[in-house]
Structure 1
Amino acid sequence: MTRTLVVVGHGPAGHRLVEEVRVGDRSGRWRIVVVAEEPRPAYDRVSLSSYLDGRTAADLDLTTPRLRADPLVDLRLNTTAVHLDRGSRTVTCADSTALEYDALVLATGSRPFVPPVPGRDLAGCFTYRTIEDLDALRAAVRPGEPGVVVGGGLLGLEAARALRLLGARPHVVEMAPHLMPLQVDEGGGRVLARLVGALGVGVHCGRGLASLHGGPGGRVRAVTLSDGTELPASTVVFSAGVRPRDELAGPAGLERGGRGGFLVDERCRTADERVWAVGECAAVLGRCYGLAAPGYRMAEAVALQLLGSPSAVFPGADMSAKLKVLGVEVAGFGDVHARTEGAVEFVREDRAAGTYGKLVLAPDGRTLLGGVLAGDTAGYAVLRTLLGHELTAPAELLLAGGATL
């Protein structure tokens, strides 16, 4: 007998779940109804900035003709789930449609956090989350004029790159003492700031946003930082993190994590055995993950459970990353901030070359716990495989990328 799986949300994690179920469900046990709030199917948010660099919405589309024609997948775009009744096992949508389910997966994602500061609603202020956001930004940016990005994490630097592509003169404001505080340490952040500064991006770390000021026509003209510094800006992009979309939790009696998100166990299942959550809206054992890769692993684990492997679990997330932001190579892996008790740090910085490398070693001085690379990531592949193992060569040589396994 065919059962109904309702998936609320069609971002990358929700889409991966649908794909995994359809690939593994050879007997057609599940009919899948996807409730998608956006006007388009799932697309590659990780590559969102490339939309301003020549790629089209079609290029970013994650769906395939086969999936779109699949008779067991009912994808409902422009549809918002507004209520969940676990007693009757129904999801009610904004258009009053009630969808019955045998299993429910919440993949509602997250929303950009906009600091509650005066002036945040002025014209010329944007978030950086969807293709529609980028369309609006493209239409509004005034080439040659300054713009401010609030947030110096990975997405904030992507937004700064977008402003440059559109002809603006970007500044980045970050409350933490350095850029990309989740991925790199202070030394790596310092080198990154110097390199992106040389590209014409103003960097203002250790300061928050205090207020925005309007000009003619009600458009933003400047921002004031927490130390009183005023920066001119005809465009402001908020990229100061995200908050999980968990509005359905309270009325449905589902527990949230301490920082929001649907609280789930290691199987990504809520206290209700018929309801799971995956992606940025899931608080796995209380922790939310704001990256795509962990969401994919969650989706794969839940798909296995739906297909008959009830013990499948989310294996955790490898937060290691090798990135290129504004043309600058950056990598972080393992215990980036040397928080392990007794950890030893080995640092190699070449200011002339604009490179920085750090290895975090166990108290024995030999076992690799983590590291940071900025300006040159040639050694990343080798170092990543050495995590948890003894070094195979002197730290200096490994940081220089001159050693192999």
Structure 2
Amino acid sequence: MTPRTLVVIGHGMTGQRLVEELRSRDRDGTWRVVVLGEERHPAYDRVKLSSALDGTTPAELSLVDPALFDDALVEFRHSARAVGVDREARTVALADGGHLAYDALVLATGSVPFVPPVPGRELPGACVYRTLDDLDAIREAAARTTTGVVIGGGLLGLEAANGLRLLGLTPHVVEMAPRLMPVQVDEGGGRVLDRLVRRLGVTTHLGAATSHIEAGPDGNVARLVFADGTSIETGLVVFSAGVRPQDSLAGPAGLPRGERGGFLVDDHCRTEDPYIWAIGECAAVEGRCYGLVAPGYRMAEAVAGQLLDDGPTRFPGADMSTKLKLMGVDVASFGDAHAQTPGALEFVRESAGGDVYAKLVLDSEGESLLGGILAGDAAAYPLLRSLLGRELPDSADSLLASV
């Protein structure tokens, strides 16, 4: 039996998981997989991107089992950009003028960095932080300066700041919100996180708006100027202010987008075209995009199940709980971390030195755990996450006794 052709556009972490799921479960060889990767590198662990600034090689970051390169039913094409999809002919148009026929198509195009419209953002020395190739530009600019500025104090921004530290620069982080990681932590958690990050040599500028970036006599970045007129002398500005779904193929393919972008798909990750799916950060599942890798993996598993008629075929939604170690600082956020449930109660503990913060969000009776935030010490995270939605086995005070 001649295998059908599955084309996967995008060779990031989620696209790679789909390939792995399909090949490990397709015992009869019913699918031949062609993967188009816009980057020159095969899929790599983007979560550990900053380690590449500390000597980790692309090969060490790679997620691809070398055996897959010799698999007769898998073809990887890198530095290959898809520019269009002809749904009627079921072909993908490539930037080099070629066309690729498919029986099924999965869009795993990921996301692109959001760069605020700051004057000077196009200057040499103004970079984004998303890919291994981006790191090359950051290294080049870092060689001309001793100070680096990251615009964005979220998860990616702090990772970028850590990368600048690894390059030997003095890092500054600029965040418009009044605290770091505003999506994951509350005011108390942000206060502790800020204290610990500053102790590591990172200067933070919170509630700060950037006016523009100025060039020096050589035409490179020389200064970042705030809206209040103050400035930082620097030769490197890294934009890490969030991402947007990479859904540029939606228009050429005539596929609908979600309200906030992304290929609009149902809870099976299927677009309105029965031969096309979308997974990962580019997918707006019933209108919602997920910015973490774990939901993308669940989507990949669901689509593999549909292609093989084997196993779960529906994306069940995602637990957006996160546990991170940023520059050696533990941070965790789970469940209803910001107490948005009507009647929710908050139980907060902060260590005497202000280095550890913990908050539990309880139901209106104070009996069931709805969520929480940990900063500085996340040792209790596995236990607390396992208790989500359940009646507490002990008092909140006892659960946080170590804080």
Q: Which residue of 1 aligns with 2:5?
A: 4
- Listed as ranges, the matches of 1:333-372 within 5 Å are 333-372=334-373
Q: Secondary structure at the match of 2:11?
A: coil
Q: Aligned partners of 2:62, 2:164: CA distance in 1, in Å?
A: 23
Q: Secondary structure at the match of 1:302?
A: helix
Residue 31 of structure 1 and its aligned partner are, at CA, apart by 0.8
Q: Aligned partners of 1:267, 1:400: CA distance in 2, in Å?
A: 43
Residue 353 of structure 1 and its aligned partner are, at CA, apart by 4.9
Q: Which residue of 2 aligns with 1:291?
A: 292
Q: Which residue of 1 aligns with 2:98?
A: 97
Q: Which residue of 2 aligns with 1:63?
A: 64
Letter in 2 for 1:184: V
Residue 310 of structure 1 and its aligned partner are, at CA, apart by 8.7
Q: Which residue of 1 aligns with 2:138?
A: 137
CA contact (8 A) 2:41 2:58 kept: no
Q: Which residue of 2 aligns with 1:46?
A: 47
Q: Secondary structure at the match of 1:47?
A: helix
- Please state if 1:280 is matched with 2:281: yes
Q: Aligned partners of 1:229, 1:198: CA distance in 2, in Å?
A: 23
Residue 140 of structure 1 and its aligned partner are, at CA, apart by 2.1
- Listed as ranges, the matches of 1:250-265 within 5 Å are 250-265=251-266
Q: Which residue of 2 aligns with 1:319?
A: 320
1:60-81 CA distance string (max 9 Å, x none): 0111121110011111111100
Q: Aligned partners of 2:60, 2:310: CA distance in 1, in Å?
A: 34
Residue 141 of structure 1 and its aligned partner are, at CA, apart by 0.6
Residue 52 of structure 1 and its aligned partner are, at CA, apart by 1.4
Q: Which residue of 2 aligns with 1:386?
A: 387
- Please state if 1:269 is matched with 2:270: yes
1:172-226 CA distance string (max 9 Å, x none): 0111221111211111011100111111111111222221111121111111223
Residue 401 of structure 1 and its aligned partner are, at CA, apart by 4.5
Q: Aligned partners of 1:282, 1:63: CA distance in 2, in Å?
A: 23
Q: Aligned partners of 2:318, 2:227: CA distance in 1, in Å?
A: 35
Q: Aligned partners of 1:42, 1:351: CA distance in 2, in Å?
A: 44
Q: Aligned partners of 1:298, 1:85: CA distance in 2, in Å?
A: 24
Letter in 2 for 1:253: G
**Aligned residues between the structures:** 402
1:14-65 CA distance string (max 9 Å, x none): 1110111111111111111111111111111011111112211110011112
Q: Which residue of 2 aligns with 1:213?
A: 214
Residue 351 of structure 1 and its aligned partner are, at CA, apart by 4.2
88-97 or 309-318, which moves further after superposition?
A: 309-318
1:107-129 CA distance string (max 9 Å, x none): 01111111111000111111111
Q: Which residue of 2 aligns with 1:25?
A: 26
- Percent identical: 63
Q: Secondary structure at the match of 2:372?
A: strand
- Please state if 1:204 is matched with 2:205: yes
Q: Aligned partners of 1:200, 1:310: CA distance in 2, in Å?
A: 49
Q: Which residue of 1 aligns with 2:111?
A: 110
Q: Secondary structure at the match of 1:345?
A: strand
Q: Aligned partners of 2:286, 2:167: CA distance in 1, in Å?
A: 41
Q: Which residue of 1 aligns with 2:87?
A: 86
1:226-251 CA distance string (max 9 Å, x none): 34332222110000001111111012
304-313 or 197-206, which moves further after superposition?
A: 304-313
Residue 262 of structure 1 and its aligned partner are, at CA, apart by 0.2
Residue 144 of structure 1 and its aligned partner are, at CA, apart by 6.7
Residue 371 of structure 1 and its aligned partner are, at CA, apart by 0.4
TM-score, with structure 1 as normaliser = 0.96
Q: Aligned partners of 1:368, 1:155: CA distance in 2, in Å?
A: 29
Q: Secondary structure at the match of 2:214?
A: strand
Structure 1 vs Structure 2 CA RMSD: 1.4
Q: Aligned partners of 1:146, 1:108: CA distance in 2, in Å?
A: 33
Q: Aligned partners of 1:373, 1:174: CA distance in 2, in Å?
A: 21
1:269-313 CA distance string (max 9 Å, x none): 001110000011100111111111111110010001000149711
TM-score, with structure 2 as normaliser = 0.97
CA contact (8 A) 2:270 2:278 kept: yes
